């Protein structure tokens, strides 16, 4: 079984602090949901203050890299030096993807707290462990499971609503909203096309991207991401 990120149970005081900042991240995700974006939101916290907020913006911008973390990072860098990230924590509703996990490491983020696992593209233990693997930039600790159920329910609400931006909107009204949520890490990884066996084969970012591309093409092999110009955009539409 793929190891899941360590969930450290904070002291009661700290736990309330973490939930408070995750609530602010969830509020951003709610805003994303209302605007037909995949509901992922985040806040960056420095010295007890929120210095940046972000929500997924890939559908509106038609740019697969406009993830919540990147939106907030850009906003912070407009008024702060990059060094601030080494004293800053990130609260994000869904585990950062491989791309964001790498950017956070290069920025030397202090800690990452997230809600639910990203079992397709996670870079903090869900698929790859970018936060603690080999590299020249400092590793950073990740703590998952903060307001986990709410993060999952937001994603479920998104996937049952109609995508009004699609050329031919898919009617999803017949779908029902499941409300049962397994505890953090339980039932993970899910038994899907890239379940346990294939997941074990993932050894590198290139493998993950190839796997992602294969999944997006419904199992039909396509050219590698480097030769498929639409791959990043397509990935962004389903990325967290």
Interface contacts to Zn ion, rule CB under 5 A: 67, 97, 100
22 versus 130: smaller Cβ distance to Zn ion:
130
Please check whether residue 114 is in contact with residue 95, taking contact to mean a CB–CB distance below 8 angstroms.
Answer: yes
Smallest gap from Cβ 13 to Zn ion, in A, equals: 30
Residues 98, 239 contacting (CB under 8 angstroms): no
**Closer by beta carbon to Zn ion, 17 or else 215:** 215
List C-alpha distances in Å: 63 to 39, 71, 109. 16, 12, 24
CB of 96 to Zn ion, least distance (A): 5
The Cα–Cα gap between 83 and 97 comes to 22
Judged by beta carbon, residue 60 or residue 177, the one nearer Zn ion is 60
**CB of 77 vs Zn ion, minimal distance in Å:** 17
Give me Rg for the CA atoms of the chain.
Answer: 17
Q: How far is the CB of 207 from Zn ion (least distance, A)?
A: 18
Q: How many angstroms separate the CA atoms of 88 and 26, rounded?
A: 19
Residue 69 annotated to the active site = yes
Tokens of 13: 């005081």
C-beta closer to Zn ion: residue 67 or 169? 67
**String of DSSP letters for 167-194:** SSPPP-TTS------PPTTTT-S-SSTT
Q: Which of 37, 69, 95, 150 is catalytic?
A: 69
Q: How far apart are CA 190 and CA 157, in angstroms?
A: 19
- Angle between helix 98-106 and 205-216 (nearest 10): 150
In sequence order, which ranges of the chain are alpha helices (DSSP H)? 12-34, 58-61, 68-77, 98-106, 148-160, 196-200, 205-216, 231-238
Closer by beta carbon to Zn ion, 22 or else 40: 40
Query: C-beta of 14: minimal distance to Zn ion in Å?
Result: 26
Point out the residues that are catalytic.
69
């Amino acid at each position: 079984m793929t190891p899941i990120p360590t969930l450290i149970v904070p002291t009661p005081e700290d736990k309330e602090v973490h939930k408070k900042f995750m609530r602010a991240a969830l509020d951003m995700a709610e805003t994303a949901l209302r605007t037909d974006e995949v509901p992922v939101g985040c806040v960056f916290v420095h010295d007890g203050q929120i210095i940046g907020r972000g929500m997924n913006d890939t559908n509106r911008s038609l740019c697969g890299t406009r993830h919540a973390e990147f939106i907030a990072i850009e906003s912070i860098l407009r008024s702060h030096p990059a060094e601030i990230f080494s004293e800053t924590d990130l609260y994000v509703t869904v585990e950062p993807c491989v791309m964001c996990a790498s950017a956070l490491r290069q920025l030397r983020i202090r800690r990452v707290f997230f809600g639910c696992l990203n079992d397709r593209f996670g870079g903090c233990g869900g698929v790859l462990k970018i936060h603690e693997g080999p590299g020249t930039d400092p590793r950073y600790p990740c703590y998952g499971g903060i307001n986990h159920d709410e993060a999952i329910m937001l994603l479920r609400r998104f996937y049952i609503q109609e995508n009004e931006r699609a050329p031919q909107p898919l009617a999803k009204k017949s779908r029902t909203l499941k409300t049962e949520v397994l505890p953090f890490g339980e039932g993970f990884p899910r038994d899907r096309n890239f379940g346990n066996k294939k997941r074990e084969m993932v050894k590198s970012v290139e493998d993950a991207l190839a796997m992602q591309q294969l999944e997006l093409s419904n199992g039909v092999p396509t050219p590698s991401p480097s030769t498929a110009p639409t791959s990043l955009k397509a990935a962004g539409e389903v990325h967290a």
